[in-house]
Amino acid sequence: MASIITFIGWHDSGKTTLATQVVTELTKLGYRVAVIKSTSDEGIAFDTPGTDTYKHKAAGADSVMLVAPDQMVLQTKNTDLSLRTLAHRYFPDVDLVIGEGFKTARRIPKIEVFRNLDQKLREEVHGVVAVATDLEGVTGEYVFRLDAARDIALFIEKRYLRIKGRRETVTLLVNGEKIPLKDFIQEALAGTVHGFIKTLKLNKDMKEIELRIQLEG
């Protein structure tokens, strides 16, 4: 299951430029990265030269999603899903999902980007783990320059990507939210589902199984 971090900041703060540079650095390190961008604009073009989504794809992102009030690309209506739900549902196979925007996302680490002290968001939002700015005198545990994309990528790698231990074999989402499972529960669920599917005699080399259950009522 992918780690998630989001870049927040006012319009024209430089967060798109920095985020695309960080995507490039992370892909150089061998990680698979997806980007989910939030915007308040409507009727905008997607994935054409000059757009933010195009820049993210050109930077090396494996997948790009745009979330806007009137649409969500993959071409569907915006159902107000959380950043965590979007990441887990649509990008389960990447190492990291980078958000752009989503300043109110709960339990999501955020990197704040700003060029003006009057535009700081840390007093309004929770979860800011680092700051990127060229202003002098800004203090904090993790403060980066706007041209320090590689340092930020290494910070993300060390803090959110170098996860020790056995990789999850089963991921359970309930209403889009990931439910933590102990190892023995993962093994029991995987064995049970695999056993049922083997009785179907599909004559396929099964490496991964996806199961979605829609409950009525």
**Residue ranges of the domains in the chain?**
3-161, 167-217
Quickly count helices (H) and strands (E) in the chain: 5, 10
Q: Which fold does the domain 3-161 belong to in CATH?
A: Rossmann fold (3.40.50)
Neighbours of 33 (CB within 10 A): 27
**Cα gap 47→217, rounded to integer Å:** 39
pLDDT surpassing 80 at residue 153? yes
Amino acid at 61: A
CA 23 to chain centre: 11
**Cα gap 41→38, rounded to integer Å:** 9
pLDDT value of position 49:
85
pLDDT value of position 1:
66
Query: 179-211: per-residue pLDDT in tens?
Result: 888 888 988 988 898 888 888 888 778 887 888
Query: 54-88: per-residue pLDDT in tens?
Result: 888 889 888 888 888 887 776 555 678 889 888 88
pLDDT value of position 76:
54
pTM for the full model?
A: 0.70
User: Diameter of the chain by CA atoms?
Assistant: 66
**Cα gap 168→152, rounded to integer Å:** 26
Mean pLDDT on 144-154: 96
